[in-house]
Amino acid sequence: MDYIQYHKHNRIAFITLDRPEKRNALNHAFVSELKKAFAMANDDDDVKAVILRGHGEAFCAGADLAYLQDLQRFSYEENLADSNHLKELFLQIYTLKKVVIAQVEGDAIAGGSGLATCCDFVFSVPHAKFGYTEVKIGFIPAIVMVFLLRKIGAARSKELLLTGNLITAEAALAVGLINRILPAAEIEHEVILFATRLIESNSANSMMMTKQMIADVQSMNLEEALAHACEMNARARNSADCKTGIDAFLKKEKIKW
């Protein structure tokens, strides 16, 4: 692949944005490669977690400038197809069967913040900046908005989306956009350690079902959500992981998933 690196180690898939000379800026082909990489991780039974990171000074600077120039010549139908292309990537990350952790070691701007927003966990270095700057160039943060509202709520989303301002990692932590701030010298080790703990201490099937429910129940009314919860509860009880886990718990045996 031209824009990313993909490898796996100890049941973790590492997807590295690898266009440092362009600050890992996105274009159509870049998005296509990311979709392919996440599909590989999703379909690989040996992969239990995914770490998304960027090579170079930036995590991801949003859309490539040449790509933005091309979009000006697109018809409505072409822009709709391209928008769906990005939507599919964000939805793929948000609903992936595996836990996805963003390791942000530089600025995550516009589409870059979008990538981070869709991940399950976000770990950042102190100097990284975050922001949805689309309104500053006459564009709108339409697709990521759907995921950001779910993550931090309407009031905080409005402040970020309508101002287009960049915020510090500390501010991003305060509003719930990221989970932890780590020194640059420690972030890689700490993210791998966090992923390893999830892999070894939690059932992959249970995490997958929990993640699926989080995505599903937010659009349901109370009765629908509870009915769905009962169905998922019953499915989980019949799973091999649940039977193994309960058996080990009753026998006071430690499970290493």
**pLDDT tens digits for 58-98?**
999 999 888 888 888 999 999 999 999 999 999 999 999 99
183-to-99, 123, 148, 149, 166 alpha-carbon distances in Å = 23, 10, 25, 28, 20
- Catalytic annotation, residues: 134
pLDDT digits (tens, 9 = 90+) for 170-209: 999 999 999 999 999 999 999 999 999 999 999 999 999 9
> % helix / strand / coil in the chain, to the nearest 5?
55, 15, 30
For residue 253, is pLDDT > 90?
no
Query: Are 114 and 236 in the same domain?
Result: no
- How far is residue 18's CA from residue 20's CA, in Å, rounded to a whole number? 6
**How confident is the model over 103-136, as pLDDT tens digits?**
999 999 999 999 999 999 999 999 999 999 999 9
Please state the domain count of the chain: 2
**Token output for 39:** 């599909």
Same domain, 166 and 72: yes
Q: Round the average pLDDT of the chain to a whole number and report it.
A: 95
Q: What is the distance of C-alpha 172 from the center of its chain? A: 15
Helix (H) or strand (E) holding 190: helix 187-201
> Is 231 inside a domain boundary?
yes
Q: Looking at the structure, tell me whether residues 244 and 148 fall in a common domain.
A: no
Q: Look at residue 234 in the predicted model and tell me its pLDDT.
A: 95
Residues 6+ apart with CB under 8 A from 203: 241, 242, 245, 257
Q: Is residue 170 located within the same domain as residue 208?
A: no
> Both 229 and 193 in a single domain?
no
Q: What is the pLDDT of residue 257?
A: 86
Residues 83 and 148 in one domain: yes
Last residue of a domain, one of 199, 219, 242: 199
68 plus 124 within the same structural domain: yes
Report strand pairing: 129-131 vs 167-168.
antiparallel
State the Cα–Cα distance between residues 129 and 107, nearest whole angstrom: 5
Is the pLDDT score of 247 beyond 90?
no
Q: Are residues 212 and 244 in the same domain?
A: yes
Give the pLDDT confidence score for residue 70 in this predicted structure: 84
Q: What is the spatial distance between Cα 178 and Cα 176, in angstroms, rounded to a whole number? A: 5
Tell me which residue range forms the domain holding 171: 4-199
78, 42 in Cβ contact below 8 A? no
Model-level pTM?
Answer: 0.95
Task: Give the model's pLDDT for residue 256.
Answer: 79
- Supply the pLDDT for residue 236: 95
User: Quick one: 126 and 71 in the same domain?
Assistant: yes
Q: Based on the domain organization, do 59 and 146 belong to the same domain?
A: yes
**Rounded average pLDDT over 145-160:** 97
Residue 113 lies in a domain: yes
Please tell me whether residues 74 and 133 are part of one structural domain.
yes
CATH of the domain at 132: 3.90.226.10
**Residue 256 within a domain:** no
* Closest C-alpha among 114, 64, 122 to residue 91: 114
Domain boundary, last residue among 199, 215, 230 = 199
